[in-house]
Chain A
Amino acid sequence: MDISVRDLQKVYVTHTGEEVVALQDVSAEVGSGEFVSLVGPSGCGKSTLLDIVSGLTQRSGGDVTIDGRGVSEGAATRHVGLIFQKPVLLPWRTTFENVYLPAQLGREPAGRGRGDALRQRARDLLELVELGPFAEKYPWELSGGMQQRVAIARALLLEARVMCMDEPFAALDEFTREQMHLELLNLWHAQGFTAIFVTHNIFEAVFLSDRVLVMTPRPGKVVAEVEVDLPRPRTSEMIGSDRFGENIRGVRSVMQEHWVA
């Protein structure tokens, strides 16, 4: 599914009554099946943008459509999978039960037939993220990286066509993060969803994406788009290459251009 954002605006009113413009005139297009990153410093509104696209927050102005249909708060949940920085697994549920959770929620939770199919899908997804043997374990028995993989499996349960990821690997160590990058890309290749990935890590953005959207803060705006010039599928060997470095420099120079202001 493609995503279209036009002249998006988000204004918050603080408890003291003043207005804070988090996003102003934000426009972006994401093609179906594309992997796009949003990069920018803290406070540039990239998480807010993601919240609006995924239906968690209401926009103040402008348009957001997914596959041609307008997105509003609470409405777009079925097609959109969300992954946060913290895995947010429920500790009283096993790994399997955590992946299965989305099937039990919403206005029409899965009944018998659909439930069985979704249970099987949950098991398959756990195998896919290589956590099959851990299905009956509890979250506290898993490492941070493993918990995040459970969160990814959960996000894929209801066959999301759009995956919104908000700095999902920021809390992981470097080695785990590299591993997760490759796993995420494998999943993306296999499932074909459209991916919006928020990060403040330029290396991560370049390694994962087709395009990098650069944002600046106050008010939040997409100021530039950088095409990533690297072949698919991405491999770890690419990381130290000159070509990779050029891509990094490309993004950095765009950011510097817009930061001085």
Chain B
Amino acid sequence: MRAGTAGGETAATAESTRPGRSAPAWLRTLGLQLGALVAFLALWEGLTASGLIAGYLIPPASDVLVVLWQYTIEIFTGGPMQQHFMTTLIEIVLGFLGSVAVGVVIGALLAEFGSLRRAMYPYVVAVNATPRIAFAPLFVIWFGFDHLSKIVMAIAIAAFPVLVNTMAGLSATSVDDLRLMRSLGATRGQILRRVRIPTALPYMFAGFETAMLFSAVGAVVGEFMGGNRGLGYVTLLAQELFRLDEAFATIVLLGIQGFVLHRLVVIARRKIVFWQSDQQTPVGQ
């Protein structure tokens, strides 16, 4: 069950309502975070400008920021970068949705049917242990050069945390809850709908958060292995051509995509699994 309050946030709100206080805690935290970023960039610039780090290994922060700005403008005004950005974004999102669908369905089936679980689980573990990256060229042969092979790659990696967490979640119903439902004469379907699924949701969302990150990895790997569009493709090309400022800038864009998408899943989790405090979130696979 949730702890009494939301910890720091509530305390901060209480503080900030007093007149004459300095800025609220969240603003102070944001200031610290931005300050850390500025400090990091300054350090980077200093190291490259002074020549302590060779410019051909790591480009100066200022160069990267210039390219990044250029790319940002292109994304918003329809330049070539926009297509690459959207390509990867679509691959990640569709890969995520696909991994959720596959992971939840198979996870639920394995949770419900004991003999199926006993038969299949070792193979699930084995496939999960196999680096799916090894399949990347094969996926290009099977699914082509276009979006599909990247989406399949994303699903191949991201479905597993969803599957495992769904299985764990559906088995996590407490003995007390089951005893309560039995004492009230609940049918199997009622127990599933009213207790087992809500109990599983925190686990499933932990899996979804991981799946989003893994989907991004899968999409980029897919683009590395065989593609002609997308941020992964661009950064690979840039690295091969030793245009490291472009490579870094593209990687930053990938990071922003991943961060925002992951954040969306977290927001969805807090909305849907409203009864769980963040401290209790079961750690995903």
Interface residues of A (CB under 8 A from B): 54-56, 74, 77-78, 82, 84, 86, 88, 90-92, 101-102, 104-107, 109, 138-140
Identify A104's interface contact among B1, B194, B275, CB under 8 A. B194
> Which of the four size classes fits the interface of chain B?
20 to 34
* Cβ–Cβ contact A74 & B275, under 8 A: no
* Cβ–Cβ contact B198 & A92, under 8 A: yes
5 smallest CB-CB distances across A and B, nearest first, come from A140-B2, A77-B185, A106-B185, A91-B275, A105-B186
Report the minimal beta-carbon distance from A93 to chain B, rounded to whole angstroms: 9
Report the minimal beta-carbon distance from A98 to chain B, rounded to whole angstroms: 10
Interface residues of B (CB under 8 A from A): 1-4, 176-177, 179-187, 190, 194-195, 198, 274-276
Report the minimal beta-carbon distance from B99 to chain A, rounded to whole angstroms: 25
Report the minimal beta-carbon distance from B213 to chain A, rounded to whole angstroms: 27
* Cβ–Cβ contact A78 & B185, under 8 A: yes
CA A90 to CA B186, docked complex, whole Å: 14
B274 — which chain A residues lie within 8 A by C-beta?
Answer: 92
* Cβ–Cβ contact B275 & A106, under 8 A: no
- By beta carbon, the residue of chain B nearest A80 is B183
Q: Is the interface of A mostly helix, strand, loop or mixed?
A: loop
* Cβ–Cβ contact B182 & A90, under 8 A: no
* Cβ–Cβ contact A88 & B177, under 8 A: yes
* Cβ–Cβ contact B1 & A106, under 8 A: no
- By beta carbon, the residue of chain A nearest B201 is A92
* Cβ–Cβ contact A90 & B184, under 8 A: no
* Cβ–Cβ contact B184 & A105, under 8 A: yes
Report the minimal beta-carbon distance from B81 to chain A, rounded to whole angstroms: 43
CA A54 to CA B183, docked complex, whole Å: 8
A139 — which chain B residues lie within 8 A by C-beta?
Answer: 1
Q: Using A56-B182, A140-B1, A140-B275 as known contacts, list a sample of 12 further A-B pairs with CB atoms less than 8 Å apart, ordered by residue number in A.
A: A54-B183, A77-B185, A82-B183, A88-B176, A88-B179, A92-B274, A101-B184, A105-B185, A105-B186, A106-B184, A107-B187, A140-B2
* Cβ–Cβ contact A84 & B184, under 8 A: no
B195 — which chain A residues lie within 8 A by C-beta?
Answer: 90
B176 — which chain A residues lie within 8 A by C-beta?
Answer: 84, 86, 88
Report the minimal beta-carbon distance from A25 to chain B, rounded to whole angstroms: 26
A55 — which chain B residues lie within 8 A by C-beta?
Answer: 183
- By beta carbon, the residue of chain A nearest B273 is A92
A56 — which chain B residues lie within 8 A by C-beta?
Answer: 179, 182-183
B3 — which chain A residues lie within 8 A by C-beta?
Answer: 140
CA A101 to CA B2, docked complex, whole Å: 20
A101 — which chain B residues lie within 8 A by C-beta?
Answer: 184, 194
Identify A140's interface contact among B4, B182, B186, CB under 8 A. B4
CA A138 to CA B2, docked complex, whole Å: 9
Identify B1's interface contact among A74, A78, A82, A91, CB under 8 A. A91
